[in-house]
Amino acid sequence: MKSPANGPLLARLPFAAAVLCSLAVLGLPALTGNGQTKPQDQVAPPPPKDVSLVISQEGARRIPLAIPPAIAPLNPELQGRLVDPFHRTLTSDLGSMATFILADPSLFPKGARPTVTREQGDAWIASGAQFLLDTQIQLSETQAQPGTGQVIAVAQLVDLRTLKVILSKSYTGTPAAVRKIAHTLANDLARQFTGQPGPFLSKIAFVSDRDGGQTKEIYAMDWDGEGQRRLTGHRSLSLAPDFSYDGSKIAYQSFNRGPSGIFVIASDGGAAKQVPLTTSLNASPSFSPDGKQIAFCGSVKGNPEIFTVNADGSYLKRLTDSPAIDSTPRWSPNGREIAFTSNRQGGPQIYLMDAEGANVRRITFAGTWNDEASFSPKGSQLAFSCRNEGDFQICVLDLLSGRTFQITNGGANENPTWSPDGSKIAWEVRRGDSSQIAVANPDGSGMRVITALGNNTSPTWSRNLD
């Protein structure tokens, strides 16, 4: 057995430690394998210079977790409809976390469930696992009323060394909600080990050209790429979506009424409402955290500036005043600052200002083109599209230390957006002529491409955890 019995959970590379320490700032405890609370590691002191580098998470200590398929009544139909999607979702969610490493299913013991005796526990430990997530699925469907049944999923998390049940939960929902049940369970497990839920119930909105006819529509999907659905039906160019912080609305730019306008649509679709504006251009909407205002790139007399406006179109206010290009505003999570891009000192670089437009300061210096800033949920880091030469890559700037990390290294990469828990970043990656949305850890490891149909760009991650 290779797993470290009592080793620190979070002995990681400095960057990963920095990411995880943002949890510590929240005062959230992390559980060790014994269920004890352990203090987080200190952030390693950053090297002095503003250096771009790629750090992989190889070598980080992860908790070995066995997730056997749920025990369910023997029934092929039930298997395909419930048990398989449940298992796929659960392993996809938990396998994406830097916290866990999933034990190899080919080494799982036969039987040994429920895991009660020392022998049974050891049989699982032999597969490399330290914890076992044991689940059962039942469908309470009456023969008289098929399709009206409820799925009942029961889950137990077993510490295989002590045989103690650490977590025991039961979930009920319609058969159609079986993936949601799995996401909810994954969130509960994440909360158990990291102190906060994962991003598993959050959504990603994006732009897709899959409908053809040179149109682009706003789409949304679950974080793992499941459940992709079209929200707009403008048959026009609709671009640059941004989720409101409560997850209820999406603001975007669209040409569907001729000139470019900013529109707001409910995040589950419906009728879009245009924000009445006297400016032109009207690109890059970004919600204020309280949802009352939208920052955007507008233009009066052909000069793009950053504006804010109430969602009903009142109180239009210009924040920047420069003959240069000012674009791509992004409101900070605490509401007090706005990041934006400007070429006022030459090439496009990222600047920060107060939400009232004062105190403008440049925050990116490396490379020739930096744009599309995205604040981490705690506001301490900024992901952005960075380029020195060649294609764009994704960079992450730690605002406290001033250090910048480049987290991608292949293809063209743009438009990063953070998951609401800060554990992931999504962005668009172009390889050849195909642009798709990828998700990875904030250090670039564990990347998966989650779209395939048409070209899919400009992801925006919802900011609420459920």
Binding residues for another protein, rule: CB under 8 A, are 214, 216, 237, 239-240, 253, 255, 259-260, 280-281, 283-284, 297, 299, 301-304, 325-328, 341, 343, 347-348, 369, 371-372, 385, 392, 414-415, 457-458
Cβ proximity to another protein: between 92 and 332 the closer is: 332
Report the alpha-carbon distance of residue 201 to residue 181 in Å, rounded. 10
Residue 7 three-state SS = coil
Please, are residues 374 and 417 in contact by the beta-carbon 8 Å criterion? yes
CB 137 within 8 A of CB 157: no
Shortest Å distance, C-beta 68 to another protein: 44
Q: Which region, left, alpha or beta, applies to residue 146 given φ > 0 means left and ψ of -120 to 50 means alpha?
A: beta
Comparison of 201 and 373: residue with beta carbon closer to another protein: 373
For the CB of residue 372, give the shortest distance to another protein in the complex, in Å: 5
**What minimum distance in Å lies between the beta carbon of 237 and another protein?**
6
> What 3-state DSSP class applies to 117?
coil
Shortest approach of another protein to residue 445 CB, angstroms? 24
In the complex with another protein, the residue whose CB is nearer, 245 or 384, is 384
Nearest to 350 by CA among 393, 376, 385: 385
Residues 311, 315, 319, 323: what is their CA dihedral angle, to the nearest 10 degrees?
100
Report whether 166 contacts 157 (CB < 8 A).
yes
d(CA 38, CA 29): 7
Whether omega for the bond prior to residue 114 falls within 30 degrees of 0, making it cis, is yes
Beta carbon nearer to another protein, 198 or 348:
348
* Closer to another protein by Cβ: residue 288 or 457: 457
Nearer to another protein, 21 or 350 (CB): 350
In the complex, minimum distance from the CB of residue 290 to another protein, in angstroms, rounded to a whole number: 23
Provide, rounded to whole angstroms, the least separation between the CB of residue 72 and another protein.
46
Going by C-alpha positions, the residue among 35, 39, 45, 37 that lies closest to residue 24 is 39
For 8, 61, 408, 443, the CA distances from 58, given in Å and listed in that order, are 16, 9, 15, 11
Name which of 127 and 342 has its Cβ closer to another protein.
342
Least distance in angstroms from the C-beta of 284 to another protein: 5
